[in-house]
Structure 1
């Protein structure tokens, strides 16, 4: 009988937890779905730190901070103001760590030489999306412009769009499979955050919450694939790690 590695055991547990989240969402059992949900993220931290040899602590910090933030959001809910602000600030710091992770892996001169048009298009796209997201936030009558809540939400939106843009630039710059998985993960996570903005400030329909959870789960699936590749790195190609 084949013996399962610890990586495979944790992978099976992750699949079971995702199924429990789905069952909880479908049959409206928030306790099952929520506590299964927050159990998922620490397992990613474990997989990364125990199975990836060439670890980057910025990426690891992103996983840790995100795990703690999701725990606070669910265990304390939004009724606890301190937990709410701490969770949001943690996610902001997590995204900043991810942004620095991308930036440190890119050299500026080759980037500007090869991707000047891409950067201009991304700047215009980001400016428009930030405007749309801010309009959505301002529909909430409880949030006033320049209040702490408003500033947190605007900062949050700017950072998630930076993550999306930099993950794309990082992939185009390196053209590696791990870079592709990071970009796909960023796409799913960022769009899940946008859906959450719509859920919080426009309509609290259960469908939006399901879409948010689904996109986040798919995003972390791509992060799982990224960790899996880093656990068993392929032979480097001529295009990889372009400088």
Structure 2
């Protein structure tokens, strides 16, 4: 338990350090801190979580790998004109895969017969909003990318918005504390990704570095907190005692 508490304190300090470094545009140092933070977070989850999810473990491993690669890319040889940045493609693909694992995790836990019976209108609205938001966000940076980079960024944005939509549907379906924490984490992930995109390709405002890094840290605090709760049966909206919900899945 002592190591557990020490790790949590260290992670909190690393999170604050990461926010400060990104705010001062010290990106190499920030990437080093973020890579170390995700390694320790993965260790914390695996070592001290009673009911572990294989998909969540895989998400942490792959997301951590993307951040390690981001740090190592600082030491690669300078790219020649027209030479593709393979670390950029691999890092983004790893992030897409990691977020997709969270979507799959929720997909497997949802009863779609009930979801479509009770939430048909919200689902249709979410699909329309996703298409609109992804198209709008991606179009703002279209001129900054090559064709293949734009395709990758479009896919990345689509996956992130799909994650948020599934998190919202999951919360409306389950109506419990774990799903609420997951939704909050996903909201902060989306905000972090959108602001990070604006920071690198649209606006040159140093304050955005503080904001997107802060949102990323908060997102993973919520993700870790939700991971400490078991998946439970949906709670009826008008239930008097939410604790009556029975745990059904590890």
Normalising by structure 2, report the TM-score. Answer: 0.84
Match of 1:49 in 2: 46
Shift of 1:162: 0.5
Matched, 1:76 2:66: no
Aligned residues of 1:47 and 1:227 also touching (Cα < 8 A): no
Report the secondary structure of 2:106's partner residue: helix
Return closer, same or farther for 1:30/1:160 CA change in 2, 3 Å cut-off: closer
Q: 2:98 aligns with which of 94, 97, 111?
A: 94
Pairing of 1:107-146 with structure 2 (within 5 A): 107-140=111-144, 142-143=145-146
Unaligned ranges ≥5, structure 2: 80-84, 231-241
- Residues 20-72 of structure 1 deviation map (CA, whole Å, 9 limit, x = unaligned): 22343455544543322221111221122112232211111111111111121
Return closer, same or farther for 1:201/1:240 CA change in 2, 3 Å cut-off: farther
Unaligned ranges ≥5, structure 1: 231-235
Aligned residues of 1:95 and 1:163 also touching (Cα < 8 A): yes
Which one has more relative contact order, counting CA pairs under 8 Å at least 6 apart? 2
Aligned length: 232
Shift of 1:211: 1.4
Q: 1:36 aligns with which of 20, 33, 37?
A: 33
Match of 1:64 in 2: 61
Normalising by structure 1, report the TM-score. Answer: 0.86
2: distance between equivalents of 1:197 and 1:36? 20
- Residues 3-25 of structure 1 deviation map (CA, whole Å, 9 limit, x = unaligned): x5322111011112123223434
